Amino acid sequence: MLTFSANSSAATLPADTDRKIRLKKFEHFVVTQMARDNIPGLSIGYLQDKLMWTRGYGYADLENKIPATARSSYRLASVTKPMTAAAILQLVDSGKVSLDAEVQIYVPYFPKKPYPVTVRQLLGHLAGINAYVNPQLEQHFKDHKSTRESIAVFENFDLIAEPGTRFRYTSYGYNLLGAVIEGASGMSYGDYMTKNVWSPLGMTATRMDDPYDIIPGRVRGYQLQNQLQGQQIKHAEFIDVSSRFSAGGTRSNVIDMLKFGDGINRGRIASAEAQDLMFESMATNKGRLTNYSAGWLTNPVNGRFSISHDGVQPETSTYLFSFPERHLTIAVAANLQRVDTSIFAEQLFEAVTGETWDMPLYIHDAQKRVYYDAMKAVFNEGNAYFERKQAAYLDELNESKILGEAFSLFNQHLKSAALKNDAKQAQLFMSEAQHPAGGLQLRKVGSYMAKKLHDAHPQLSTYSNRGAIAFFHDYIALYKKDSSIATAFRFDEAFEQQVGQLNAAWKKTSHIKLLKQDFDMQKYIPVAGARRVASEAGLVKALATLHQKMKHAYEGAIVAPDYLADLKVLSQDLIRSGNAGHALKIGQLAQEIYPSSDGAHALAGALEISAGDKDKGVAALKTAVSLNPQGEASAVGLNNAAYRLRGTSGPEAGLKILQAAIELYPDEANLYDSQGEFYAALAMNQEALIAYQKVLDIRPGDQNAKTAIQKMQAMSKLTSGINYQH
């Protein structure tokens, strides 16, 4: 396990004492989480109004023990995309680019496709442009590429769909936008960005990445390689990212990332109309939102309006979150590839605001769960919209009839679901009602509720800590006192009763907060290789206390906080430290506390299989699937679990999960592909070849399997008698 140093920027801490205390706790969290994830170096910070707070942790260079600072220079990866989008919209403002023009107007050398490809579609990943077709080649370029050479990589790929019909996240589409910038401006992409985006915002450290340039503060990039004894830090593979120039070919520090987010929030780069395009999700031509705007992810965060973008590529992992109405931007960058940096941003948000990032609840009763899920969806969509616009969705239209119809539809579907005991009907309605094709009913209802609550008590941010139940309860209480809220904008009596029951139950359990330290057993879990005799008794006692606290908190509770994510982290910590037996008890505790949670049964199942009881583990996984076929015991969920276990305990442990997953999903090619990779890591080449052959049996054109077989045969020259397909 690594040890870490922390390096501060010159920024002044906030005067607010509570925030200072929370930031101190946050810094402890960062060091703990970096050790957990084996992150060599990380930089993070926030900018709110004129106050900037930044920190660096760990090492920018492990070999030479150079500390990471706020000025350490990281590859931005896909955080480049919102910068490219901002430049495009700037050119739209100046009349040099038309959003609905075909791309060939600005990039004449790009081949015509069966359908027109427009600039707007490229901005929203709706142009039908494919992603990597041959990742083994396209993600590993070593040579420096010009714009023309970068476009040539994919210019002859077929479209995967008619533009406008399907969202497909792709860096190639954003490379094409970089070429549009060059064609429209007459400047190179890097020169245009420096002159018109980066310099105006004071982003003096942001530049195109070039492996041969001398770049102040450049960090070394690392990866985790899976060894038989677990994961080890190694240098990242050398990749020249010039082929991803306008999609992920830049380098910067968190200070500049914060300046960029703040510049977007304040409209300093483009017009109000352009800002709307960055803040509003695009939709397919059939009216389904993609939750991606012109360059940003637009998912609401617990009823808050937010835009964000992450970035992952060799050497780096980055995240940029922005909360425009709060004038708050959070940026994080790590010099380890493929690590989830969002958790650091989420924890910093809580430290800065004092608000809960999210509030997952556990509700055992299936019908009440349907009611709560509907409430949460309306709260998320409606409150976030009101926060952004400071108005209800239908205010400008003054369409009370349409609003009344939205409330009526909500009441009808919830009532029908209750009478027929059919949760799927309500879930389908809620899923469709968030899209333009479904009338944006959630936005209509929720934003009206938010407006009325704001008018009565302008403290909407409190609902981030109180949640959707309080949001609905307070609105119902408001209209029972306020006769000006028409009957058409109210809920039926049965729904009101359900809200009342949930609110009363939540009041009883919401104050029983299990704190982070209840799950933090670090003082009882020693570093790898240390003697643990002295800590064993303390660990047993701490786990027993946790079990007792949770059992007491959940006994007879209708609704209670959901701490499953914390239990997962604790189980992983225990496995890493050689306490697999205690980890299994955590899985069993999760099953006991959350009997209707697919995630709890999936966790227990994986831990049972790891402990050697395959039958009991598979039974738990089947229960999880019955509760949620698309959940954590799905083929994708189990594949991810296998990789997590491989990281903590090595490929043999991960193989146990994969073998159980294949028993449940015998026709899932990706499971066999992972199995082949795990076998290869154990030098079990014969078994690996069989697994990859199974991939080809299911998916004959799979390039990864073909390449893997060819490499293994070339290296080992095995002749097993199996007729391998090429």
Would residue 351 count as lying in a domain?
Answer: no
DSSP, collapsed to helix, strand or coil, labels residue 313 as strand
Q: Tell me how far apart the alpha carbons of residues 662 and 630 are, in angstroms, rounded to a whole number.
A: 16
Specify the 3-state DSSP secondary structure of 102: strand
pLDDT, residue 225, reads 85
On whether both 319 and 459 belong to a single domain, the answer is no
In terms of residue numbers, what domain contains 444? 361-509
| 2-6, 280-284, 577-581, 676-680 — most confident range | 280-284
pLDDT at site 722: 52
Q: Is residue 593 in a domain?
A: yes
Report d(CA 304, CA 298) in Å as an integer.
10
Residue 513 in this model has a pLDDT that exceeds 90: no
- Residue 56: phi and psi, rounded to 5, are -125, 140
What residue has token string 């959003």? 99
Residue 633 lies in a domain: yes
CATH number at residue 317: 3.40.710.10
- For the four alpha carbons of 231, 710, 669 and 619, in that order, the dihedral sign comes to negative
250-267, pLDDT tens digit by residue? 999 999 999 999 999 999
Residues 144 and 270 in one domain: yes
Instruction: Count CB neighbours of 50 within 10 A.
Output: 7
* CA–CA distances in Å: residue 288 to residues 20, 166, 283, 302, 438: 43, 10, 5, 21, 8
Q: Is the pLDDT assigned to residue 14 strictly greater than 90?
A: no
pLDDT tens, 113-157? 999 999 999 999 999 999 999 888 999 999 999 999 999 999 999
Does position 101 have pLDDT exceeding 70, yes or no?
A: yes
Does 652 lie in the same domain as 560?
yes
605-628 confidence digits (pLDDT tens): 999 999 999 999 999 999 999 999
Contact (CB, 8 A) for 96 and 181? no
User: If pLDDT is split at 50, 70 and 90, which confidence band does 648 have?
Assistant: confident
Which residue in this structure is represented by tokens 């299989």?
609
How far is Cα 124 from Cα 88, in angstroms, rounded to an integer? 12
Between 647 and 415, whose confidence is greater? 415
Report the chain's mean pLDDT, rounded to a whole number. Answer: 91
Strands (E), 335-398: 361-363
In the numeric block, which tokens belong to residue 493?
A: 């009596």
Q: What is the pLDDT of residue 522?
A: 66
Q: Please indicate, yes or no, if residue 67 is contained in any of the structural domains.
A: no
Tell whether 2 is covered by a domain.
Answer: no
Most confident of 48-62, 416-430, 671-685: 48-62
Do the Cβ atoms of 372 and 468 come closer than 8 Å?
Answer: yes
Residue 135 is predicted with a pLDDT of: 85
Is there a domain that residue 11 lies in?
A: no
Q: Which two tokens stand for residue 175?
A: 């490379």
| Number of domains observed in the structure of the chain | 3
- Report pLDDT for 11: 45
Tell whether 303 and 414 lie within a shared domain: no
Helical residues (DSSP H) of 197-331, grouped into ranges: 245-248, 254-265, 272-279
**Residue 231 scores a pLDDT above 90:** no
The per-residue pLDDT for 726 is: 42
Cα–Cα distance, 544 to 547 (Å, whole number): 5
Beta bridge partners of residue 53, listed in sequence order: 46
The pLDDT value recorded for residue 532 is 46
- Distance (Å, rounded) from C-alpha 331 to C-alpha 174? 22
pLDDT above 60 for 530: no
pLDDT tops 90 at residue 45: yes
Please, which pLDDT band fits residue 535 given cuts at 50, 70 and 90? Answer: low
Same domain as 582, residue 453: no
Of the residues 509, 535, 555, which one is the last residue of a structural domain?
A: 509
Between CA 154 and CA 523 the distance in angstroms is 52
pLDDT at 512 over 80: no
Q: Are residues 531 and 479 in the same domain?
A: no
* Between 195 and 536, residue with greater pLDDT: 195
Q: Are 656 and 580 in contact (CB under 8 A)?
A: no
Tens digits of residue pLDDT in 661-672: 999 999 999 999
Segment 515-523 mean pLDDT: 66
pLDDT of the residue at 425? 81
Domain-ending residue, one of 665, 693, 719: 665
pLDDT in tens, 154-165: 999 999 999 999
The DSSP output letter for 456 is: H
Domain co-membership, 312 together with 434: no
Q: How confident is the model at residue 534 (pLDDT cuts 50, 70, 90)?
A: very low
pLDDT score of 144: 96
Give the number of other CB atoms < 10 A from CB of residue 114: 10
Does residue 534 belong to any structural domain of this protein? yes
Pairing of strands 51-61, 41-48: antiparallel
Same domain as 433, residue 455: yes
Q: What is the DSSP string of 204-221?
A: TT-EE--TTS--TTBPPP
Joined together, the tokens standing for residue 507 give 């009041």
- pLDDT for 531: 45
Tens of pLDDT, residues 400-422: 889 999 999 999 999 887 767 77
Please identify, among 633, 665, 697, the residue that sits at the C-terminal boundary of a domain.
Answer: 665
Least confident of 21-25, 179-183, 543-547: 543-547
Confidence of residue 516 (pLDDT cuts 50, 70, 90): low
Query: Residue 114: its pLDDT value, please?
Result: 97
DSSP-derived secondary structure letter, 67? E
Please tell me the predicted confidence (pLDDT) of residue 718. Answer: 45
d(CA 204, CA 207): 8
- At 526, the pLDDT band (50, 70, 90 cuts) reads low
Which pLDDT tens digit goes with each residue over 59-68? 999 999 999 9
Instruction: Give yes or no: residues 321 and 376 share one domain.
Output: no
- Residues 199 and 313 both lie in one domain: yes
Q: How far apart are CA 698 and CA 84, in angstroms?
A: 39
Listed range (211-225, 463-477, 568-582) with the worst mean pLDDT: 568-582
609 in the same domain as 488? no
Please tell me the predicted confidence (pLDDT) of residue 555. 85
Minimum mean pLDDT among 17-26, 190-199, 323-332, 534-543: which range?
Answer: 534-543
* 398 in the same domain as 327: no
Q: Looking at the domain assignment, is residue 575 inside a domain? A: yes
Name the residue with tokens 């009997």.
Answer: 595
